Homo-oligomer: A and B are copies of this chain.
Amino acid sequence: MSNKVITISREFGSGGRTIAREVADRLGYNFYDKALVERIAAESGYSKDFVERRGEDATSTSSFLFNLSRSGSGGYDGISGTSDKLYVISHNIIKKLPEEGPCVIVGRCSDYILKDYEDSLHVFIYADMKFKADRIVKLYGEMDDAPEKRLDEKDKKRKVYYKNFTGRIWGMSENYDVCLNSGKLGIDSCVDIIVELAQR
């Protein structure tokens, strides 16, 4: 029997990462968020900070590599585009994570990378602007830019990143098995639903 994998994609500020951590805790699954960043950093030679910054919201400079990674050949020698390199490294790492045990993976196109992995549950977490704005101010404090502007910019970049590497529209329900509005349903309800579905 294969190991269960839950991928959690999320809008910035929606609480998706918190939900993912709680789901992993409750199920006793491996949790790949910072741990994934560390691995990508180790394999790429870039710093963790750099990988985090360039991770999910920097656009690619090479569609050649995009095609390579889609065809599964996976090599990245001789290609420019730092984002491309990072994508392929993280693609190759994510592909093998299920071998290490049941797990929850946050973002980084993991829904797309593991779309053909059978024992999977692909989740998208999103929320209305007010919920997200209140949440990031509470978590990260006030900044020069309005929270709405920060949210818009961050998610716009994620959208472009996702489209670039997967060819799909970020947030379209058909890419996921379940999409949950954490602002409307509440963080706890989202955790309960995902845990229950994983246990069925």
A interface vs B, CB < 8 Å? 121, 124, 126, 169, 171-174, 176-181, 184-185, 189, 193, 196-197, 200
Contact = CB atoms under 8 A, between A and B. Distances in A.
A185 B181 contact: no
B171 A178 contact: no
8 A-B pairs with the lowest CB-CB distances in the bound complex, closest first = A179-B179, A173-B179, A177-B181, A177-B184, A173-B173, A171-B173, A124-B173, A126-B173
A23 to B, nearest CB: 15
Nearest to A128: B174
A176 B185 contact: no
Contacts of A169: 172
Identical chains in the assembly: 2
Contact of A178 (B174, B181, B196): B181
A39 B142 CA distance: 51
Given A174-B181, A178-B181, A193-B193, 16 more contacts: A121-B184, A124-B173, A124-B179, A171-B172, A172-B172, A172-B173, A173-B176, A173-B179, A176-B179, A177-B180, A177-B184, A177-B185, A179-B179, A185-B197, A189-B197, A193-B197
A189 B185 CA distance: 17
A171 to B, nearest CB: 5
B189 A181 contact: no
Contacts of A189: 197, 200
A181 B196 CA distance: 15
24 contacts: A121-B184, A124-B173, A126-B173, A126-B174, A171-B172, A171-B173, A171-B174, A172-B172, A172-B173, A173-B173, A173-B179, A174-B181, A176-B179, A176-B181, A177-B180, A177-B181, A177-B185, A178-B180, A178-B181, A185-B197, A189-B197, A189-B200, A193-B193, A193-B197
